[in-house]
């Protein structure tokens, strides 16, 4: 009965590889997000989708491409991985886009690029 | 642009001590304010929120009051427990900025028995 789930939990890969992280929510929410948390715990939004449409696209290298096949899923594909991509990536969802809505976070995916 | 500033950590307290974590913000509109908590190895979870000036959010013994005049949302708890050890994030969501949530840098709290 996990609300927001991510796979994999850990991902170790070599520089230059392409990898994907998957996210699913079973809360019936309309809006989903990807965040990056660096080694100092600083959390920054990357993307947000509302009903499968991109609504927030921060200054992120275009090697990062989100895809939302339906409202319940938001995947993150990363091309040509670099050392600086090492971080914990969190998926989140909220009932709708809006200032009042609580966000529910997944457990995170720890990406290590060697 | 919008931003959130929190007191630097780490903070170490003895059990039953009083906790204050300061948070101030800048925003162009009238934001909603949040405190999220991240326990070790987990994702963030909402601790409390306030959506307008003078609102007080409270949960699990934690409280924070939305102070528009000082642009602050300080987190307080009267008596901390070991289980409160976590990283605490102050955040805002500004409806004039596409409802993006801007997080502060986080404050790590360790409570020792």
Give the whole-angstrom CA distance, residue A18 versus residue A101: 33
Shortest Cα distance, chain B CAs vs residue A18, angstroms: 24
Contact B98 A45 (CB under 8 A): no
Confidence at B9, pLDDT banded by 50, 70, 90: confident
Judging contacts by C-beta atoms under 8 Å, the chain B residues touching residue A42 are 103, 105-106
- Sole residue written with tokens 């590889």: A17
DSSP secondary structure, chain B, as one string: --EEEE--S-EEEETT--EEE-EEEE-SS--EEEEEEE-TTS-EEEEEEE-STT-EEEETTEEEE-BTTTTB--EEESS--GGG-EEEEEEEE-GGGTT-EEE---EEEEEE-
Answer whether residue A99 shows pLDDT above 80: no
Give the minimum alpha-carbon distance from B12 to chain A in angstroms, rounded to a whole number.
17
Residue A98 has pLDDT above 80, yes or no: no
User: Do B63 and B56 contact (CB within 8 A), yes or no?
Assistant: yes
* Residue partners of B45: CB distance under 8 A and separation at least 6: A104, A105, B36, B37, B38, B39
pLDDT digits (tens, 9 = 90+) for B39-51: 998 899 999 999 9
* Cα torsion A56, A91, A108, B99: sign: positive
Give the separation between CA B82 and CA B89, rounded to whole angstroms. 18
Question: Residue A43 and residue B106: Cβ atoms within 8 Å?
Answer: yes
At B50-101, the pLDDT tens digits run 999 999 999 999 999 999 999 999 999 999 999 999 999 999 988 776 668 8
pLDDT, tens digit, for every residue of B18-31? Answer: 999 999 999 887 89
């Amino acid at each position: 009965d996990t609300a927001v789930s991510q796979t994999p939990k850990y991902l170790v890969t070599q520089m230059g590889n392409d990898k994907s992280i998957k996210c699913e929510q079973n809360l019936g929410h309309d809006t989903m997000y990807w965040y990056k948390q660096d080694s100092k715990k600083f959390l920054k939004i990357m993307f947000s989708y509302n009903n499968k449409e991109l609504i927030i696209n921060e200054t992120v290298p275009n090697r990062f491409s989100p895809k939302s096949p339906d409202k319940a899923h938001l995947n993150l594909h990363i091309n040509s991985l670099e050392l600086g991509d090492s971080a914990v990536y969190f998926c989140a969802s909220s009932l709708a886009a809006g200032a009042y809505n609580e966000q529910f976070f997944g457990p995170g995916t720890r990406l290590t690029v060697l | 642009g919008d931003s959130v500033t929190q007191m630097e950590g780490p903070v170490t307290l003895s059990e039953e001590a009083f906790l204050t974590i300061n948070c101030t913000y800048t925003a162009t509109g009238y934001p909603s304010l949040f405190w999220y908590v991240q326990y070790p190895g987990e994702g963030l979870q909402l601790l409390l929120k306030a959506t307008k000036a003078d609102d007080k959010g409270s949960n699990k013994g934690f409280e924070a009051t939305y102070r528009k005049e000082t642009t602050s949302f300080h987190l307080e708890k009267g008596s901390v427990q070991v289980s409160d050890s976590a990283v605490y994030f102050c955040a805002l969501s500004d409806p004039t900025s596409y409802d993006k949530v801007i997080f502060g840098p986080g404050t790590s709290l360790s409570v020792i028995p």
